[in-house]
Structure 1
Amino acid sequence: MSIPQSGGGPIENRAQLAEYLEAGCKPKADWRIGTEHEKFGYCRDSLKPLPYEGERSILAVLEALRDNHGWDPLTEGGNLIGLTKDGANISLEPGGQLELSGAPLETIHETCDEVNSHLAQVKDIADKIGVGFIGLGAAPQWMHEDMPLMPKGRYKLMDAYMQKVGTTGQIMMRRTCTVQVNLDFGSEADMVQKMRVALALQPVANALFGTSPFFENKLNGYKSWRGYVWQHLDAARTGMLPFVFDEGFGFEAWVEYALDVPMYFVYRDGKYIDALGQSFRDFMDGKLPALPGETPTLSDWADHLTTIFPEARLKKFIEMRGADGGPWRRLCALPAFWVGLMYDQGTLDAAWDMVKDWDAETREGLRQAAAKDGLKGEAGGLKLLDIARQAVALSDAGLKARARTGAGGLIPDETHFLDTLKESVESGQAQADEMLERYAGDWGGDLTRVYSDYSY
């Protein structure tokens, strides 16, 4: 989840809302890659999730990162709830999932170095206190009552509201993890093309990166239980957004959509003020019940944009949100997949040609099929494995065209980061399929084996 936004002055006219998004336009030379990933912490002896406080806890990990690895603290209400360093942030998801929001970097080589450095730091601390970390799309064994709620005002508000607008919001908050990448755009037209390709192909990412076939200590019937969870969370702020494919879509259309997404909160003086279900349109008119007579700042607008959770999200950049959390190789593969598709114009055009004739029903059908059946899913006469094979090949071509070298020029491009995805499309199996085979095979139905086999 995002940290509170800052630095925005009063909104004096409605045009500023679209201008805020448009300010994200950058020349291609300034496009960057921001990778985020979440992971579950657990006690190695009991395999139970970490509490916030205690000898073996989230707080102990944060304090050790602060004291031993040079991270600066972020606090709320006197509680340490995050860290920052060199353009990156470490934050807490509602159930204590530890998230790295990486710095904006130029290449996948740098991104993977960042991920590796972070996981090495976390593992160094975890090993000393008897803790482990694992990246999966959903907690394979833990129950709702096992999960602590982190001491953040935003989460307290959201937790109570989630059950009023869907059936899986509290599951999402406490017991799911993702990996995502944030990418730039050069103009409104570039944003539109990237958003359309991003939304259309998020089901492919979900199928390729599905890692959550287990939940509450049993098979759940899905390759990505996390994907299922997001389908039933809150229809007002999730989904595949058919309007993005309408003629005339642009920054202003996103503003209209965002204004109609019910609010969660307003952040004032270090506190979250309950605005659950209220209207940002009313806020613009000074009629918000939570703050009568007040009008919003650009920081309030930026905060509101972080409470919208579609499969691809527009802020001053585009967030790719369709993938389950996973192991190290796949943490690097996710940004490589999308950078290859998005940052070379010829490849982006080819990706758009591949998806432009799909209708909303097909896109939604693929979304549902990806969560349920992974790479074996089908919808609208399309097979996800065939689409994934095409998409990975296009991404490979895009990364070759970028020709960003690594290891001092010894590695000619970033294509090797796709190797795990190439293996998946060649075999027709993603990690969820592998996990299911192990569960039925050498694990003998013992889900505790997932920790030894898949932890960092």
Structure 2
Amino acid sequence: MTQLDASTRHDLRPIEDKAELAAYLATGCKPKDAWRIGTEHEKFGFLKDSLEPLPFAGERSIQAVLEGLSREFGWQRLEEDGNLVALKKDGASITLEPGGQFELSGAPLKTVQETCSEVTQHLKEVKAVSDPLGVGFIGLGAAPFWTREEMPRVPKGRYTIMRRYMPKVGGLGLDMMHRTATVQVNLDFASEEDMVKKFRTSLALQPIATALFANSPLTEGKPNGFRSWRAHIWTDTDPHRTGMLDFVFEEDFGFERYAEYMLDVPMYFLWRDGVYTDAAGLSFRDFLDGKLEAAPGQRPNIEDWKDHLSTAFPEVRLKTFLEMRGADSGSWGRICALPAFWVGLLYDEESLNGAWDLVKDWTAEERRALRPEAAKNGMAGEVGRIRIKETAAQVLDLSRAGLRRRAAMDAAGTDESGFLAPLADIVRTGESFACQLLRDVEEGADAEALFRAYAF
């Protein structure tokens, strides 16, 4: 979330009843014909001549690229403390992650074709602005060569607070902030019952997505022992706001139960009048009671609740939509494959039922074990009776069938299932893109060769 424009903060009335928290989540319920697809992807900028990370400021910098996009393509500027840190246009936004990862948060669109066209247009615009600067961008799940200290530091108030807090609660939180990149898709639900079924199914299957999209096997130029180092990083970031959320599979799960979970997720900050106040580790429950140490006597409004919802990082996150968060960032085709994968599974009732039947008997222990197993071994991973490659093949078939039943056709009469092609290759070979990267390194490819081969 880009917390910059006060005009977008509408409901500043203090919350009077805890029930309002769950009621806000329930406002996301939409009829099926109003369901949309919101795709987000992050990428790393670099200087083509030196292959160093793109700095935040300067003649060749993150800010220079943002300035160019605003000037050449009509994106509206958003600033914080005099720094250009985001852009917005037509329901989409371009924002910055803490280490300068360049993120497109796409507009809510009806079809995978539309969201992929949006990605294509964005990458064309970024390239048009970046090429004259000698700047490139690459989509990988983690920075393959740069140390944490080499990464830029985006000067946003909430990131400053997080940088102080992260080392207190996990060993890899600063790496998560500065050296990882993801692609995710945000999807709608019709009702509380529909949300629960989609949440449970997609949460159980996130490790399968992690294995399919694994794309971060290198750290500082050397194999790190993982197919998805990004996914491994999340296992040692902050146990209070990450993970597989066992309670989602309990009988009483719904909007109210998720709100209760979020009340126990420690706060990061309080935002008032353009200023971030450090509230890291404090309790939103105390805030509701007017007892927040960082703001005595103040009570939260719904905008504060929206902010707080954005500070939990489970593998699936609930706002007024569901966010699929298990995948490494990647190339153009893999960016487009992720929304196709999840839309085929979750927006078609028959495929959703089939996917739920696959996972409904998995135990909490199996679900928890799949997460690190997918990070470590990718498509070759196994947990007891569950074999990731076999499950991925079954799930991909369900997704493909769901997309075909959706029958969302482009101008050529082609449905959305073609976007699954990169995943079909991975299921067939049992090798994610991480395996190709490792082969390249084993065969002597240096940084220059890898950036030349895989940059956008």
Under a length normalisation based on structure 1, what TM-score does the superposition of the two structures give? 0.98
The answer for the alignment partner of 2:104 in structure 1 is 100
Q: CA offsets, 1:238-270, max 9 Å, x none?
A: 000000000110000001100000000011111
The answer for the alignment partner of 1:203 in structure 2 is 207
| Alpha-carbon distance between aligned partners in 1 of 2:9 and 2:186, rounded to the nearest angstrom | 19
| Alpha-carbon distance between aligned partners in 2 of 1:54 and 1:171, rounded to the nearest angstrom | 24
The answer for the alignment partner of 1:6 in structure 2 is 9
| Alpha-carbon distance between aligned partners in 2 of 1:337 and 1:16, rounded to the nearest angstrom | 33
Q: CA offsets, 1:6-41, max 9 Å, x none?
A: 222321211110000000000000000000000000
Unaligned runs of 5+ in 2: none
The answer for the alignment partner of 1:130 in structure 2 is 134
The answer for the alignment partner of 2:329 in structure 1 is 325
The answer for the alignment partner of 2:318 in structure 1 is 314
| Alpha-carbon distance between aligned partners in 1 of 2:327 and 2:448, rounded to the nearest angstrom | 23
1:182 is paired with a residue whose SS is: strand
| Alpha-carbon distance between aligned partners in 1 of 2:233 and 2:36, rounded to the nearest angstrom | 30
The answer for the alignment partner of 1:451 in structure 2 is 451
1:180 is paired with a residue whose SS is: strand
Residue number among 246, 252, 260 corresponding to 1:242 in the alignment: 246
Deviation of 1:147 (Å):
1.2
Contact 2:2/2:86, CA 8 A, preserved across alignment: no
The answer for the alignment partner of 2:439 in structure 1 is 437
1:204 is paired with a residue whose SS is: helix
1:321 is paired with a residue whose SS is: strand
Residue number among 417, 422, 425 corresponding to 1:423 in the alignment: 425
| Alpha-carbon distance between aligned partners in 2 of 1:260 and 1:198, rounded to the nearest angstrom | 23
Q: Structure 1: which amino acid aligns with 2:84?
A: L
RMSD: 0.9
Aligned pair count reads 452
Contact 2:36/2:187, CA 8 A, preserved across alignment: yes
Mark the CA change 1:190 to 1:423 in structure 2 (over 3 Å): closer, same or farther.
same
| Alpha-carbon distance between aligned partners in 2 of 1:272 and 1:198, rounded to the nearest angstrom | 34
Under a length normalisation based on structure 2, what TM-score does the superposition of the two structures give? 0.98
| Alpha-carbon distance between aligned partners in 1 of 2:251 and 2:384, rounded to the nearest angstrom | 22
Q: Structure 2: which amino acid aligns with 1:371?
A: A
Q: CA offsets, 1:149-180, max 9 Å, x none?
A: 10100000000100000000100110100000
| Alpha-carbon distance between aligned partners in 1 of 2:127 and 2:176, rounded to the nearest angstrom | 25
Mark the CA change 1:140 to 1:233 in structure 2 (over 3 Å): closer, same or farther.
same
Residue number among 339, 344, 348 corresponding to 2:343 in the alignment: 339
Deviation of 1:445 (Å):
5.0
Q: CA offsets, 1:349-388, max 9 Å, x none?
A: 1100000000111011111111001100111221100010
The answer for the alignment partner of 1:15 in structure 2 is 19
| Alpha-carbon distance between aligned partners in 1 of 2:10 and 2:198, rounded to the nearest angstrom | 27
| Alpha-carbon distance between aligned partners in 1 of 2:385 and 2:349, rounded to the nearest angstrom | 28
Contact 1:264/1:307, CA 8 A, preserved across alignment: yes
Unaligned runs of 5+ in 1: none
| Alpha-carbon distance between aligned partners in 1 of 2:91 and 2:52, rounded to the nearest angstrom | 32
Identity %: 58
2:39 is paired with a residue whose SS is: strand
The answer for the alignment partner of 1:84 in structure 2 is 88
Deviation of 1:271 (Å):
1.1
Q: Structure 2: which amino acid aligns with 1:451?
A: F
| Alpha-carbon distance between aligned partners in 1 of 2:173 and 2:18, rounded to the nearest angstrom | 31
| Alpha-carbon distance between aligned partners in 2 of 1:244 and 1:165, rounded to the nearest angstrom | 23
Superposed, 1:16-415 pairs within 5 Å as: 16-406=20-410, 408=411, 410-415=412-417
State the 4+ residue runs in structure 1 displaced beyond 4 angstroms: none
| Alpha-carbon distance between aligned partners in 1 of 2:439 and 2:389, rounded to the nearest angstrom | 19
| Alpha-carbon distance between aligned partners in 2 of 1:6 and 1:143, rounded to the nearest angstrom | 37
Deviation of 1:148 (Å):
1.7
